[in-house]
Amino acid sequence: MMLAAVLLGFTAGAAQAAQVLGAWTYAFAEYGDIKYPENFAHYDFVNPNAPKGGTLRLSNPDRRTSFDKYNPFTLPENAPAGVEMFMFETLADASPDEPATMYGLLASQMLIAPDYSSVSFRINPLAHFNNGDPVTAADVKYSFDMAVGLTTTPDYSQNFGGIRAAVIVDPHTVRFDLKTPSRDQIYQLGTVLYIFSRKWGQGPDGKTKPFDQIVNDVPITTGPYLIARGTGQLLDLVRDPHYWAGNIGVRKGFYNFDHLLYHYYSDPAAEFEGFKAGDFELKEELSAKRYVRQYVGKKFRDGEIIKRRLLTQMGFFYEGFLLNSRRPEFSDWRVRSALNYALDWNWNSIQGYGLGERFDGLFQRTPFAATGVPSPGELALLAPYRKDLLPQVFDAPEPNPVTDTPAQLRADLLHARKLLAAAGWTIHPDGLLRNAKGEAFQMEILEDNTQFENAFGRWAESLKNLGITTRIRLVDFAVYEKRLDDFDFDCTLMNFGDMKMPALSVLKDAFGSAAARTRGSSNYMGIAIPAVDHLIDVMNQAASLEDLVNGSRALDRIFIAEHFAVPFLYRPYRMVAYWDRFGIPAVMPKYFSIDYFQMQDGLGGMPWPIATWWTKK
């Protein structure tokens, strides 16, 4: 995609406001103009007159099958996602209609320094916590101090690594000074920093517990829902009748259900049977096979349950079999590439009924993905590191292997065998792949559910032909999470989530050298490459969209060339089913999810059905 077309995506449409710097304003766009005018009544994708009432019953919104605390910011991360999504709010709202624009929420106004070296937020005088206390600048600073503390999860604290100081200007104003100018860091502060009361975790003596000891204390927050009851596998959230923001533009028409009732299932089969029985009413399906073959029958034919594919304009930030390069077996790029050649994608596509495409790199379906040979802007960033990078970084990205015939799969396996031999792994008389020391190549695929077990098995068959012994290890979520936190795994299938733009905090946490050494970070692959660190810094300090595009494409080239993961699938739509019990707005937002909001990067899509649908009367 030409850069002119990229830029057009940030300026096309009915832009109504230009970016304002150096003065108090109601909104901020990282690049381009702002869609909605000051004091706008509501977003286009809501029904501002939607009736309130009813209960929306839901199931597990992510991999968690139970929960044992309410604090989502500390390790281990086993708090219910519903608490994070619907109780905690940020200073600004990430617009679901624009790539990277935020409008005031808890902060009614913001002041961005002309050189992007600081941002100030002025608290909305209407904003108050669910205990009735007003939100103050001191609460904002306290929330920030906890976010960057040593007890907070690395993937959350990483969002704010570019902040030098948080300064209370007056009781209603707080200023954040940046270490280096950065549009992205300003956006992260506005859309990712959750604000909570200093009284959360406070005892009868008036003293507040250390943050990592705040476990089952009910959060004191500003969001639209309160905890009515919670057990290890059930969370009942009730709409706060005194919610402060119901009539402001970024919340008008939102949060129409009186109750959100989450039932956490431990087994996918039981969950699906529960859905068909009406135990819950909205489900996103990730398995194409199940979507095609099992979402059938009288209830679907008669329209009691509606089955839809909802097109989204979200980009896709990688799903694949992540390889832990800290392990000696996976330290060589040629080994990692060989594992890619052993994946029978054609078989996977057939099993998936063709309802998916394969990832090429990090930023699928976005202008930030690498294509063709590097541009002059990309070369300028990569050239200083040429001696430390693989030669193929400077060529067009290698396409994924094609396995559409048995003969082609055999050819791919022969190529994989050559790559392995070049890396020092050869087939021995016992049929096993061994290195020069005689050590056999063994690989364990770590997973916490059976959803893709057939795909794992098919891959294991091909790997066996290469002499690799593969074991599929299914564990419960708590064990899975701990082993990931400790980087104690060989390979696991992971989805990094959807995206609108590259989120620099996420990139630093997933690919930065410091994160590779930090327990609990998202750098599962063990990537520690100086050029990658430099590119993330370049993107963080990008003075223009062109700089951001060049940095992201250069980063993508390194990731593709190094084969840190074996790419899997994405779909440009959401496969959903829901009981015909809802009113639905006539317009969909451009960027949305179904029942999980990737708020850690501020760039994911909001859960549009939960946030804006309503119960039919």
What does the pLDDT look like over 77-124, one tens digit per residue? 788 888 999 999 999 999 999 988 999 999 999 999 999 999 999 999
Task: Examine residue 284 and state whether it is found in any structural domain, yes or no.
Answer: no
162-171, 320-329, 344-353: range with lowest mean pLDDT: 344-353
The full 3-state SS of 508-562, as one line of letters, equals HHHHCHHHHCCCCCCCCCCCCCHHHHHHHHHHHCCCCHHHHHHHHHHHHHHHHHH
Q: Taking 70 as the threshold, does the pLDDT of residue 421 lie above it?
A: yes
Q: Taking 80 as the threshold, does the pLDDT of residue 301 lie above it?
A: yes
Q: Taking 50 as the threshold, does the pLDDT of residue 4 lie above it?
A: no
Whole-number pLDDT of residue 212: 93
Q: Taking 80 as the threshold, does the pLDDT of residue 2 lie above it?
A: no
**Same domain membership, residue 411 and residue 534:** yes
Query: What is the chain's mean pLDDT, rounded?
Result: 90
Could you give the number of structural domains in the chain? 2
Whole-number pLDDT of residue 311: 84
**Same domain membership, residue 560 and residue 592:** no
Give the global pTM: 0.83
**CATH number of the domain residue 611 falls in:** 3.40.190.10
Whole-number pLDDT of residue 360: 86
150-159, 371-380, 506-515: range with lowest mean pLDDT: 150-159
Q: Residue 268 — pLDDT band, cuts 50, 70, 90?
A: confident
Looking at 376-451, list the stretches that DSSP marks H as alpha helix, in order from N- to C-terminal side.
376-382, 406-422
Task: Examine residue 301 and state whether it is found in any structural domain, yes or no.
Answer: no
**CATH number of the domain residue 380 falls in:** 3.10.105.10
**Same domain membership, residue 474 and residue 549:** yes
- Measure Cα distances from 194 to 118, 144, 221, 579 in Å: 19, 8, 9, 33
**Same domain membership, residue 346 and residue 247:** no
% residues pLDDT > 70 (the chain): 95
Q: Taking 80 as the threshold, does the pLDDT of residue 58 lie above it?
A: yes
Task: Examine residue 214 and state whether it is found in any structural domain, yes or no.
Answer: yes
Q: Residue 7 — pLDDT band, cuts 50, 70, 90?
A: very low
**Same domain membership, residue 109 and residue 17:** yes
Q: Which residues pair with 494 in a beta bridge?
A: 320
**Same domain membership, residue 329 and residue 197:** no
In 3D space, the residue among 555, 439, 452 whose CA is nearest the CA of residue 506 turns out to be 555
Task: Examine residue 319 and state whether it is found in any structural domain, yes or no.
Answer: yes
Distance CA 310, CA 498 (A): 14
Structure tokens given for 580:
């015909």
Task: Examine residue 516 and state whether it is found in any structural domain, yes or no.
Answer: yes
**Same domain membership, residue 584 and residue 563:** no
**Same domain membership, residue 595 and residue 551:** no
Q: Taking 90 as the threshold, does the pLDDT of residue 383 lie above it?
A: yes
Task: Examine residue 385 and state whether it is found in any structural domain, yes or no.
Answer: yes
Structure tokens given for 375:
């541009």
In 3D space, the residue among 326, 365, 386 whose CA is nearest the CA of residue 524 turns out to be 326
Task: Examine residue 294 and state whether it is found in any structural domain, yes or no.
Answer: no
**Same domain membership, residue 592 and residue 462:** no
**Same domain membership, residue 565 and residue 585:** no
Mean local confidence (pLDDT), 216-240: 96
**Same domain membership, residue 566 and residue 578:** no
- Block residue for tokens 């009813």: 54
**Same domain membership, residue 603 and residue 521:** no
Task: Examine residue 269 and state whether it is found in any structural domain, yes or no.
Answer: no
Q: Taking 80 as the threshold, does the pLDDT of residue 314 lie above it?
A: no
In 3D space, the residue among 337, 324, 602, 373 whose CA is nearest the CA of residue 484 turns out to be 324
Q: Which of 534, 555, 570 is the last residue of a domain?
A: 570
Domain that holds residue 344: 315-570
147-156, 335-344, 464-473: range with lowest mean pLDDT: 147-156
Q: Taking 80 as the threshold, does the pLDDT of residue 600 lie above it?
A: no
- Name the more confident of 593 and 392: 392
% residues pLDDT > 90 (the chain): 69
Distance CA 262, CA 236 (A): 6
Q: Residue 354 — pLDDT band, cuts 50, 70, 90?
A: low
Helix, coil or strand: residue 617? coil
Q: Which of 533, 551, 570 is the last residue of a domain?
A: 570
